[in-house]
Amino acid sequence: MSTTDEDSVQTTPPTNRLAWRDTNIYGSDTRDTLIGGLWASEGITNAYLYSMLEIICFFTNTFYLYDDRKQLVRKDGQQLRPGNYFVVTTGSISVTDEVPLICAVSLPSGPRVESFRESVFQRDRQCVITGNKAMYAHVGRWMGFEATHIFSLAFERQWNDRNLSRLITVPPANESHGSINSVQNGIMLTCEMHRFFASYELAINPDDNYKIVCFTADLSPFHIAGRHLDQTFIDNPLRPPDDLLRWHFRQAVLVNIKGVGEPTYEDDFPP
């Protein structure tokens, strides 16, 4: 399958996200109602579990979490322990029917994207997740790096329908390329990090000092979970707006935490 100016939709058999979960969330203490689950990576705290539940569920009253020992889990900054958790509330619980925007991880091409790539590379000059620098950036060599759309180019129609151009203060030099190709909708990543970010297995939480949140054990060898973005990137006026990072983080929670999780797909890179 080839790509032009769009990411393409994947049709190969999916992989089950349950394979790497070490934590489950139930709607009762009988384990008969699975609400969701996750891999409790470094940096995911008890408070995170509460806040992520508020993304995937609707509650009509205050709720609390209890662990396997029937001990109250406080909404605090303690690292979340792997295990089983149970929601206790006097109200009702319903799981959201919000559907995340998912497509295959691909490398879009075309003149609109080339301009986007160059703008992102010149701003960042390193992977914003790992900190790996492009050693030959001064001669325009970016081998091993990708300019990654935060809101995927595959969903330009949804971008326009939601009027997300309102978040962009720096349009592309050629406005016919579309606001989705603004430098503010992109970050520079290594090729490996591009795959994880585009598949929502990695996200940035702007509401926790731009913490890097990992949703799969595959990222363990990189030692990035729980780290925060470099302050230089955060202070750059050309960086992505918080609302776009917040949208991507929400998608990651819906994809990885809700129910049994969304299917994962093989990369769809052109030959």
d(CA 185, CA 245): 9
Report which of 157, 153, 132, 90 is spatially closest to residue 224, judged by C-alpha positions. 132
Domain ranges of the chain: 17-95, 111-249
Q: Is the pLDDT of residue 72 over 90?
A: yes
Report which of 244, 143, 142, 238 is spatially closest to residue 197, judged by C-alpha positions. 244
Residue for token pair 């009027």: 163
Q: Is the pLDDT of residue 192 over 90?
A: yes
pLDDT for 129-138, tens place per residue?
Answer: 999 998 888 8
pLDDT for 220-257, tens place per residue?
Answer: 999 999 999 999 999 999 999 999 999 999 999 999 99
pLDDT for 80-110, tens place per residue?
Answer: 999 999 999 999 999 999 999 987 665 565 5
d(CA 163, CA 176): 16
Task: Give the least confident one: 175-179, 214-218, 239-243.
Answer: 175-179
What is the percent of the chain with per-residue pLDDT over 90, rounded to a whole number?
74
What pLDDT sits at residue 113? 83
What pLDDT sits at residue 108? 61
39, 18 in Cβ contact below 8 A?
A: no
Q: Decide the pairing of beta strands 63-67 and 72-73.
A: antiparallel
Q: Decide the pairing of beta strands 23-26 and 83-89.
A: parallel
246, 223 in Cβ contact below 8 A?
A: no
Q: Is the pLDDT of residue 208 over 80?
A: yes
What pLDDT sits at residue 107? 58
What pLDDT sits at residue 105? 60
Q: Which residues pair with 148 in a beta bridge?
A: 187
d(CA 250, CA 241): 15
Q: Which residues pair with 32 in a beta bridge?
A: none
Burial of 59-92, coded b for 16+ CB within 10 Å and e otherwise, reads eeeebebbeeeeeebeeeeeebeeeebbbeeeee
What pLDDT sits at residue 173? 85
Report which of 88, 82, 97, 91 is spatially closest to residue 64, judged by C-alpha positions. 88
d(CA 104, CA 235): 32
What pLDDT sits at residue 269? 40
What is the percent of the chain with per-residue pLDDT over 70, rounded to a whole number?
87
pLDDT confidence bin for 270, thresholds 50/70/90: very low
Higher-confidence position of 251 and 176: 251
150, 139 in Cβ contact below 8 A?
A: no
pLDDT for 4-59, tens place per residue?
Answer: 344 444 444 556 677 789 999 999 766 788 999 999 999 999 999 999 999 999 99
Helix (H) or strand (E) holding 49: helix 46-56
**SS3 of 197, please?**
helix
User: Amino acid identity, residue 114?
Assistant: E
Higher-confidence position of 19 and 170: 170
Report which of 90, 105, 118 is spatially closest to residue 14, judged by C-alpha positions. 105
What pLDDT sits at residue 8? 40
What pLDDT sits at residue 109? 52
